[in-house]
Homo-oligomer: A and B are copies of this chain.
Amino acid sequence: MIVVVNANAPEKEIERLKESLLKKGLEINYSRGVDHIIMGLIGDTRSVEISNIESNDIVEKVLRVQEPYKKANRLFHPESSVFNILGSLIGGKNFAVMAGPCSVESEEQIISVAKSVKAAGATFLRGGAFKPRSSPYSFQGMGLDGLKLLKIAKAETGLPIVSEIMSTEMLDEFVKDVDVIQVGTRNMQNFVLLRELGKTNKPILLKRGMSATIEEWLMSAEYIMKEGNEQVILCERGIRTFETFTRNTLDISAVPAVQRKSHLPIIVDPSHSAGMYWMVEPLAKASIAAGADGVMIEVHNSPETALCDGSQSLKPEKFAELMIKLKKYAEIEGKVIG
């Protein structure tokens, strides 16, 4: 950590600041320029409150050198993490394909979609039982009945289930019934939920908050990992920007960025990024080309009657066509879908 101090500050104030830093157990490398004094702090600064130091009148800025995450940091874990979830692999050379409807609507629907995505080569079944909707007047999901139907579809196809949890109250049911527990974009900083998920032994799919920086996202992963659960899969799903043509702006650069900074796998959700079915194919291909460890794609047998997100859902036949192309891209990159 580097503290930049006004060089014209009274000597007494500077001494007081130095003492307060030394008291935190840090060493100070002190260097005086014409306009600024630079204090390089050496030691473990992860728990130092930057805000505290900044509240000094004489401090101009505080710059962090060390990344604030540790368990998620590639620096301390150079190899890419690979997770094996009921035989479906993710990370390293393994490209995961999670597919299924935005929300589970009926037994027929979920089984039909599950079978078709399985046939096309998907490696996970996604399906929402609890739906975070911006309007209280919209369909809120089938709830626990939805989880039951997902289990039936899993029994039929063998695909592990990915489904979103909305609060700690449902934790026991999710640990029992779901194979990958998804944390939605609106809950990326629901720290109580993250902490409880960190105490389970289930893989967690952590979607990026729609206005979260990459660092904040990794800090949310750290919340889970700190409690002992190191199976965190990150999912880029578009960020909020000034552009309104797309529902969100897919931050494709987040893929190489996360892979440089962290060992955790990162997948992309092109469906939520775009919000338009015809954009899913180009964005899914861009994701694998950029090096993503997987994609998550909404597939619905009847988008026009879907209870949510119909506009961004692919029909099963379109999904099958997309899978053929993704396999070619995977081959170029030396990756295996599975």
Compute how far the CA of A300 lies from the CA of B199 in the bound complex, rounded to whole angstroms.
35
CB nearest neighbor in B for A71:
B136
- Which stretch, A60-68, A89-97, A148-156, touches the partner chain B? A60-68
Determine if A31 and B36 form an interchain contact, defined as CB atoms under 8 angstroms apart: no
Interface range for A = 35 or more
**Which one, B192, B210, B246, contacts A253 given CB within 8 A?**
B246
Determine if A56 and B304 form an interchain contact, defined as CB atoms under 8 angstroms apart: yes
| A86 interface residue per 8 A CB criterion | no
**Which one, B167, B220, B246, B273, contacts A167 given CB within 8 A?**
B167
**Which of A50, A51, A328 is packed against the most chain B CB atoms within 10 Å?**
A51
CB nearest neighbor in B for A132:
B191
Determine if A55 and B310 form an interchain contact, defined as CB atoms under 8 angstroms apart: yes
CB nearest neighbor in B for A16:
B304
Contacts of A179 in B (CB 8 A): none
Interface hits, A205-250 → B, CB 8 Å = 210-211, 213-216, 219-220, 222-223, 226, 239-246, 249-250
| A35 interface residue per 8 A CB criterion | yes
| A54 interface residue per 8 A CB criterion | yes
| A294 interface residue per 8 A CB criterion | no
- Which stretch, A104-112, A119-127, A283-291, touches the partner chain B? A283-291
| A303 interface residue per 8 A CB criterion | yes
| A256 interface residue per 8 A CB criterion | yes
Determine if A189 and B303 form an interchain contact, defined as CB atoms under 8 angstroms apart: no
**Which one, B29, B214, B241, B252, contacts A29 given CB within 8 A?**
B29
| A255 interface residue per 8 A CB criterion | yes
Determine if A136 and B219 form an interchain contact, defined as CB atoms under 8 angstroms apart: yes
| A297 interface residue per 8 A CB criterion | no
Determine if A243 and B252 form an interchain contact, defined as CB atoms under 8 angstroms apart: no
| A277 interface residue per 8 A CB criterion | yes
Determine if A51 and B245 form an interchain contact, defined as CB atoms under 8 angstroms apart: no
Contacts of A40 in B (CB 8 A): 31, 38, 40
Determine if B33 and A31 form an interchain contact, defined as CB atoms under 8 angstroms apart: no
Q: Which residues of A contact B (CB under 8 A)?
A: 2, 4, 20, 29, 31, 33, 35-36, 38, 40, 42, 46-47, 49-52, 54-56, 61, 63, 65-66, 68, 75, 132-139, 166-169, 186-187, 189-193, 195, 210-211, 213-216, 219-220, 222-223, 226, 239-246, 249-257, 260, 273-279, 282-283, 285-291, 303-313, 325, 328-329, 332
**What are the 4 closest A-B residue pairs judged by CB atoms, nearest first?**
A211-B211, A289-B289, A54-B311, A55-B310
